Amino acid sequence: MAAIVTDNLVKRYAEVTAVAGVSLEIKEGEVFGLLGPNGAGKTTTISMLSTLVKPTSGTALVAGRDINKDPLAVRRNIGIVFQEPSVDDLLTARENLYLHSMLYGMPRREIPGRIEEMLRLVNLSERGDSLVRTYSGGMRRRLEIARGLIHGPRILFLDEPTLGLDPASRKAVWEHIRGLKDLHNTTIILTTHYMEEADSLADRIGIINKGRVIELGTPEELKKKVGHDLVFLRGAIDEAAVRALPFVNTAERDADCWKIGIVDSGINLQELLNAAGRIEEVEVRRVTLDDVFLKFAGQQISDDEDEKADGFFERVAAQKAVRR
C-alpha cells in the first residue's frame, strides 16, 4: 500500500501560488527527499499533508486517510519536525517531551522510558531538565527531532531536520532515520538543502520548483540525467581531437585549463586522455546531486551560473596568481 498519494494538490495565497498541482505516490517504508530552492513549496506541501494547512484544491491520502475529510485520523499516524522552532521555551526538554507524549495519547507507562531514549538519541540527557530557553540553536533542533519521533509515528515529516546541526549531530540523526526505516518501516518525507544528506538517505527524490515537481527519481537516476562527469585537464590539449570524441558533451577552456563534460568517465576517461595529447594535470569529478539540483532547479538561484558554481576557473586563477 502507498503511504501517501497526493492528487493535484494546490495551495494559493493572495499573492502567490505556493503549490501548483502536486501528484505524488510515496511507498510505505520509503525515504522520500523533497528538494527545491527557497520558496519552491516544500514546507507548504508538507503542511498540507500533515493537515496544518488546507489545500485550495486537490487532496491526498496519508496512511489511507483523506487529509480533507479525516484530518484527525491522519494526525494520529504522523510525526512532524518543523522547519520553524515549535518547542515550548518555558518548559524543560523533559516537560516538552512529556506534554507531547500525552497529546499523542501514548500509554503512560511507556512515556518515561521513551523520553529517556529520545534524549539519549539526540544527546540531551544531561540538559533534559534545563529550560529550553537556555538552549543553543542546535540543541533546540535536536529536541525538536526527539519530539517528532517520540510517539513512533508510521509516517514522519522532517522539514530541514538537520539545519544548523554540527556534523556529529547530523550524522546521529541520519543514523536514526536509517534505523527507523530499517527496523520500523517508517515512511519518511524529508526536505533538505544539503544534497549530501538527500543522496545518502533518500530512496527517491522529487525536485520541486515554483510549486511543481519537475524531476522525480532515485539519486542515481537523477545523476544520469545530468549526462556527464567533469574532467579537468591542464596542458597543451588537442582541442579538435577532444571535441571529435563521441562521448564528449562539452569542452571549455581558460588559458591552458580545460573543463570537459564526458559521458561515463569510468569507461571513457582513458580514451579521452589518449586523444588529448600532452597533459600535465588531471582531475575527475563524478556527477553529484549538487549538479542535478543546479541543472534542474538552479536557474532561479544562480541565473545559469552552474558552470562557474564549482569554482574551477576561480581556483585556476588563484593558482596562477600564487605562481606569479
* Residues binding ligand ATP (CB under 6 A): 13, 16, 18, 36, 38-44, 83
Residues 20-49 that bind Mg ion (CB under 5 A): 42-43
* Torsion of Cα atoms, 288 then 293 then 294 then 297, to 10°: 170
| Smallest gap from residue 128 Cβ to ligand ATP (A) | 29
Q: Which residue number, 44 or 96, has a Cβ lying nearer to ligand ATP?
A: 44
Taking the C-alpha atoms of residue 157 and residue 276, their distance in angstroms, rounded to an integer, is: 49
Instruction: Report the 10 Å Cβ neighbour count for 167.
Output: 8
Nearer to Mg ion, 201 or 230 (CB): 201
Region of 86 on the Ramachandran plot (φ > 0 left; ψ -120 to 50 alpha; else beta) = alpha
Residue 298 touches which of Mg ion, ligand ATP, none (Cβ within 5-8 Å per kind): none
Residue showing the smallest CB distance to Mg ion in the complex: 43
Interacting stretch for Mg ion, rule CB under 5 A, among 51-59, 79-87, 232-240, 307-315? 79-87
- By beta-carbon proximity to Mg ion, the closer residue of 87 and 118 is 87
Residue 46 or 231: the one with the smaller Cβ distance to ligand ATP is 46
Range in contact with Mg ion (rule: CB under 5 A) among 13-21, 83-91, 141-149, 313-321: 83-91
Residue with Cβ nearer ligand ATP (42 or 228): 42
With cell 550524522, the residue in question is 171
For the CB of residue 151, give the shortest distance to ligand ATP in the complex, in Å: 24
What is the nearest approach in angstroms of ligand ATP to the Cβ of residue 58?
A: 15
Minimum gap (Å) between residue 157 Cβ and ligand ATP = 12
Least distance CB 22 / ligand ATP (angstroms):
11
Please report how close the Cβ of residue 159 comes to Mg ion at its closest, in angstroms.
Answer: 6
Label each residue of the chain as H, E or C: CEEEEEEEEEEECCCCEEEEEEEEEEECCCEEEEECCCCCCHHHHHHHHCCCCCCCEEEEEECCEECCCCHHHHHHCEEEECCCCCCCCCCEHHHHHHHHHHHCCCCHHHHHHHHHHHHHHCCCHHHCCCEHHHCCHHHHHHHHHHHHHCCCCCEEEEECCCCCCCHHHHHHHHHHHHHHHHHHCCEEEEECCCHHHHHHHCCEEEEEECCEEEEEECHHHHHHHHCCEEEEEEEEECHHHHHHCCCEEEEEEECCEEEEEECCHHHHHHHHHHHHEEEEEEEEECCCHHHHHHHHHCHHHHCCCHHHHCCHHHHHHHHHHHHC
Only one of the segments 1-9, 76-84, 175-183, 252-260 lies at the binding site for Mg ion (rule: CB under 5 A); that segment is: 76-84
For the bound state, the minimum distance from the C-beta of residue 191 to ligand ATP, rounded and expressed in Å, comes to 7
- From the list Mg ion, ligand ATP, none, which binds 249 (C-beta under 5 to 8 Å, kind-based)? none
Comparison of 197 and 229: residue with beta carbon closer to ligand ATP: 197
**Minimum distance of Mg ion from residue 44's CB (angstroms):** 8
Residue 203 Cα distances to 9, 46, 258, 262, angstroms:
22, 18, 35, 26
Question: Pick from ligand ATP, Mg ion, none: which does 99 bind, CB < 5 to 8 A by kind?
Answer: none
The residue range among 82-90, 103-111, 243-251, 310-318 that interacts with Mg ion, by the rule CB under 5 A, is 82-90
Q: Which is nearer to ligand ATP, 18 or 74 (CB)?
A: 18
Binding site for Mg ion (CB under 5 A): 42-43, 83
